């Protein structure tokens, strides 16, 4: 028996090494290569990668934009004050932003500015779902070993190989930009060219509005405690996606948000001349950089348009003008 065990031990060790080495080497979601990600065609776990990057470079940035992949198209380099980094990632949620902000603070990183973009994803997605999605597993504040264990999956590697092997990079600046400002870029000429007009909607959307509002209240309180300037805005989701969201109560989320965002927020949601114009969207989920520039122009450069604000676009919403806001949302 001992001879047999001695004979098979090297084989067992070899298998174990492969079980570890292959996932680390292929690393489709770039969690083991967070210092220098590879543009491999698989969506990286940007929540984890960006948090690791900021935590290991505590003096590089002093201001952060949190949000879903939609806010990735906001060019933070255009913001006039602060050293900004775009922390956006796929389906970024208020609960995760709260945890990430706590992690930054606990590690001695007290931002000067925190900007958060929310939308129907914030209102309708259960954060627990992300625990089972490789590219969305939240940053591990406690059990880091359990986090890494998710990625020692041969099955996950095999499923990603077809994408990796057949992928041809088209964005030569992707990696450099990822670390410079965290922003996303697409060919602007693609705006409005997608087929169909269906709203962006997933079958797992449910009502999590009250939970998201509570998370926003906690974020607001945390920012007040540490003297962080908090800026909240709603993403200008495509009007068909807004209509679908409104059917499930999204307007209530917008009404409640004014009392959960540290005094008020900038609204870009609704049916307006902008959100009804396909040219400002890559599909019915993501808006273009041009529309992202409009958000920056309104918030940081004070550019206003009376006609658009009468439709709710660019309106600063507070508890005091909530009735006026309701009228604006109906004015389309």
Nearest to 137 by CA among 11, 250, 43, 56: 43
Which two tokens mark 123? 């209102």
Q: Where are the alpha helices (DSSP H) in 226-288?
A: 239-247, 250-257
- Provide the mean pLDDT of the chain: 94
Is residue 316 a contact partner of residue 254, using CB atoms and an 8 Å limit? no
* Dihedral (Cα; 22, 28, 31, 36), 10-degree rounding: 100
- Please state, for a pLDDT cut of 70, what percent of the chain lies above it: 94
- 105-132 per-position pLDDT tens digit: 999 999 999 999 999 999 999 999 999 9
| pLDDT at 4 (0 to 100) | 53
Handedness of CA 208, 73, 265, 46 (dihedral sign): positive
Handedness of CA 27, 32, 33, 34 (dihedral sign): positive
How confident is the model over 218-232, as a mean pLDDT?
Answer: 98
- 301-332 per-position pLDDT tens digit: 999 999 999 999 999 999 999 999 999 999 86
**Count of other CB atoms within 10 angstroms of residue 225:** 9
- Please identify which residue in the block is written with the tokens 């590690």: 107
pTM: 0.93
């Amino acid at each position: 028996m001992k001879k047999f065990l001695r004979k098979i031990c090297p084989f067992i060790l070899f298998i174990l090494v492969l079980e570890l080495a292959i996932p680390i080497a292929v690393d489709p979601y770039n969690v083991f290569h967070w210092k220098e990600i590879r543009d491999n065609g698989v969506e990286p776990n940007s929540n984890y990668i960006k948090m690791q990057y900021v935590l290991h470079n505590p003096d590089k940035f002093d201001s952060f934009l949190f949000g879903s992949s939609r806010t990735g198209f906001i060019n933070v380099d255009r913001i006039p004050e602060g050293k900004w980094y775009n922390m956006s990632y796929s389906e970024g949620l208020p609960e995760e932003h709260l945890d990430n902000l706590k992690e930054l603070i606990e590690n001695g990183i007290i931002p000067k500015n925190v900007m958060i973009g929310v939308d129907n994803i914030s209102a309708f997605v259960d954060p627990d779902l992300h625990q089972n999605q490789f590219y969305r597993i939240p940053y591990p504040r406690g059990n880091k070993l359990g986090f890494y264990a998710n990625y020692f999956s041969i099955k996950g590697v095999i499923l990603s190989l077809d994408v990796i092997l057949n992928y041809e990079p088209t964005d030569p600046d992707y990696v450099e930009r990822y670390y410079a400002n965290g922003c996303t870029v697409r060919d602007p000429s693609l705006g409005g060219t997608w087929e169909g007009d269906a709203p962006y909607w997933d079958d797992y959307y449910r009502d999590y509005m009250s939970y998201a509002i509570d998370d926003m209240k906690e974020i607001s309180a945390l920012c007040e405690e540490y003297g962080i300037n908090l800026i909240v805005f709603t993403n200008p989701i495509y009007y068909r996606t807004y209509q679908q969201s409104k059917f499930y109560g999204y307007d209530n989320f917008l009404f409640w948000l004014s009392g959960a965002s540290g005094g008020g927020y900038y609204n870009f949601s609704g049916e307006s001349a902008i959100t009804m114009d396909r040219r400002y969207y890559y599909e019915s989920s993501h808006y273009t950089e041009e529309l992202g520039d409009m958000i920056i122009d309104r918030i940081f450069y004070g550019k206003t348009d009376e006609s658009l604000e009468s439709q709710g676009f660019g309106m600063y919403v507070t508890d005091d003008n909530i009735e006026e806001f309701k009228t604006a949302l109906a004015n389309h």
